A and B are shown apart, each in its own frame.
Chain A
Amino acid sequence: MEGSTSRNLAGAPHLHEGSTTSAMMWTVTLCLAPSGLWGIWQFGLPALAVLVVAIGAALLGEIGMGLVLKRPALRDGSAFLTGLLVGYMMPPAVPLYVPLAASLFAMVVVKWSFGGLGGNWMNPALAGVALALLSWTGAMGSWTAPHAWHAVVAGSFATPIASPEAFVAGGLAHQRGGSGGPIALVALGHYPVSPFSQSVAQWLGSHAGVRIDPHYLDLFVGLVPGSIGEISPPLLILGSVVLFRRRILGWRVPVAYLGAFLLLIWAFGGLPLGGALFQGDPLFHLLAGGIILGALYLATDPVTAAHTPGGMIVYGAGAGALTFLFRDYGSLPAAMPFGIILMNIVVPAIDRVARSRRLGMRAREAER
């Protein structure tokens, strides 16, 4: 099947084996599933609707393009996965035409116009989300309260409420004097906390002598406003552990991404809040927003990430650094998608440099 097209074997990775690719895709989907289920539990039927639309549109786009271009499509679970990821990055109450457009864009423009099945150079799901972020900035920045806040926040699902990182970013606009970091800002602004975390923090405080701000607990467990599939770090990490053990996931990109991001947040994160260097809060920024989803599942997409070990580190670090830039200084609701797709652009350059270095080394070895 693949032999009919002239593919340069030195080029991008070619996911030839339909069966292996398919198994891989569905494994990833399965590992992602718990996070989405959590999101549906916390945000209700609207979240489910968004996911259904996102996945449905992706499948539709894939089938449609397969028919139009007369290419094999759909049998490998990648469309489902792309749709799932698009849905995961959506706020729960977003109008349904947003995930629809994002998924269709991802499939038709980013994936299939470039040949589909490994031919694209930009991550389709991220590009679709970027489109949504730029086109419907308001809707992409409107969040709803999670189920866990029912007792604390009136109106729950329907009430717009800022996500933690949006709250902090909004707070930055208003106060430039030192405030001691995001958590202090959050506390100052009377940002809600779930009763669950409140009681856990109390228990830890009185029985174990450990003082943790309950907001951190909320963030860690996943009891905050946010995008459907992004709020629960433990579930995402758990899924990725499975992928690591099955060697579907490598360590280089996530480590480089998180390393660069967290380091820069620590070093410079305090500046916008009026603080000094090295006063940033890496924990907060790691847990708030789509950083973990991005580091583990999106930046690691084998088709659009760098393809050499050294390249992966450069690519991951670059994406992490850019994500930091947009998180701390940007004006769009989300930072992670842009950090990664900008590095997607640079990947062919990284690959090329890595390849010529390898050739150079081999040539020198041959001379010996």
Chain B
Amino acid sequence: MTDSEPKTGASLTGSLFESPLALLVLGLFPSIAITTHVSYALALGGGVLVVMAGSRLVASLLAPVIPPRIRFGVHLVVIATLVTAVDQAVRAYAPALSKALGIYVPLVAVNCLILGRMAPGRSSAGKAVLGALGMGVSFALSLSLVALVREVLGSGTITLFPFGRWNGIVTVAGLSRNPIGAFALPAGAFLVVAYLAGLANWAALRRQEARKGRAEETGTSARSPSERESPRGSSAPEATG
């Protein structure tokens, strides 16, 4: 695969459609495990949001005080503490959910680290937190998208949160009696993510070609800001590991 490996949007300023998948894949992929139900994805996404924004805030506040050598360790502790807090909260208020999410809540602690390191250094705490919030939201959305596809195809339902009398489950006619069980299995998760990523790539490729077409017409050497800014494509995993 030489020239035509499209960049899967490791640029965090890229479109909402591109970058969430990069976040999902590069940083928090184990979370895919809970995408058997939409509600799980929303819940975990919410948790990640809290942890990311909170840890970014704390880290920015502590930044002037921490010597660079132990910055990594401090980040580690901060994130782990926040994750513990979230985990305990879920355990207390929604024990069934906590059981379903299992080890994937604590696991967020380890993976948020990668994301934290990926974020470019920002000056003000406010901007940093906003950036983290943005990442958290797009992560939650992409996770929920995967869960939506998986649950609809794999169980024929859409599980949201119970509200009043309604148990929160939407059944999809036709599929709910004979769903494609394989999508509820791990294999299905890989397949869904693969094709969603492929879709994102396809969209990106079309946009690239459209831009090139326009550039040729107007005679300018058009390189979009996101193309200039994103040095890492799908090779990002190899660089940061």
Contacts and interface: CB of A to CB of B under 8 A. Distances in A.
A contacts B directly in the complex (CB < 8 Å)?
yes
Interface of A: 95, 97, 101, 109, 131, 134-137
Interface in B142-200: 178-183, 185, 187, 191
Chain A CB count within 10 A is highest, among B178, B187, B191, for: B178
18 contacts: A95-B178, A97-B178, A101-B180, A109-B191, A131-B180, A131-B182, A134-B181, A134-B182, A134-B185, A134-B187, A135-B179, A135-B180, A135-B181, A135-B182, A135-B183, A136-B178, A136-B181, A137-B181
B172 to A, nearest CB: 15
Nearest to A137: B181
Interface residues of B, number: 9
B173 to A, nearest CB: 14
Contacts of A136: 178, 181
Interface in B51-110: none
Contacts, number: 18
Dominant secondary structure at the A interface: helix
Contacts of A95: 178
A283 B187 CA distance: 35
B1 to A, nearest CB: 10
A259 B16 CA distance: 55
Closest 6 CB pairs of A and B: A135-B181, A135-B182, A135-B180, A134-B182, A131-B182, A134-B181
Contacts of A137: 181
Nearest to A130: B182
A97 B156 CA distance: 15
Contacts of A135: 179-183
A136 B183 CA distance: 11
A112 to B, nearest CB: 12
Contacts of A131: 180, 182
Given A134-B185, A136-B178, 16 more contacts: A95-B178, A97-B178, A101-B180, A109-B191, A131-B180, A131-B182, A134-B181, A134-B182, A134-B187, A135-B179, A135-B180, A135-B181, A135-B182, A135-B183, A136-B181, A137-B181
